Amino acid sequence: MNRVLVTSMPAKKNTMIMMAGIAFFAVLVILDMIKFFTLNVFEPVQVAFNVLFLVVLFNRINAKYTCEMNKDSLVFHKSSLWGKKRYEVDFRSIMGIYRYQPKLVEITKFRHTDRLQSALDARDVWTIAYTVTSKKSKIENCRIYFKPGDEFLDELHRVLPNKVMMNDEKVILADLQRAK
């Protein structure tokens, strides 16, 4: 099997919205600096929050995500202001891949959740539910939110026919059966 790769694709509309947010908070920081130099009024909490929002928005814009499908695993690469990180999910540990649906209460408890999708990418969010063995030899449920393309999902469906494009109830049932 050839290596299949999908990367985050920024949408122009989302990029413009983020740039408007950065411009807004940059103007607030500039106004705080003008107020400090002209009126000698310094508000450190206000400046700190505005700078914090600028850094968070800038990090959201600069983050790049790549997902590649190898022979026996999915490998995610995240590159942001805070550095690079690599995640690997073995095909045997995947319980299911389903479209993300926000819920207030979940039956399955997930120990770790990683959000590996770009805020600028306009594609739908999907969830990979998988298991890992902790240092105490306990099996834990984890999940990754990501934004694949249709071609990538079709290739995943070909490799994992009963685990891709399913509903989350089947993942819950698989978890409950495993726990018995």
Model confidence over 142-162: pLDDT tens digits?
999 999 888 888 888 888 888
Instruction: Give the start-to-end residue ranges of the domains of the chain.
Output: 12-62, 65-179
Alpha carbons 71 and 155: distance in angstroms, whole number: 12
pTM of the model: 0.78
- Amino acid code (one letter) for 160: L
Does residue 54 sit in helix, strand or coil? Answer: helix
Give tens-digit pLDDT for 59-79: 888 888 899 998 889 999 999
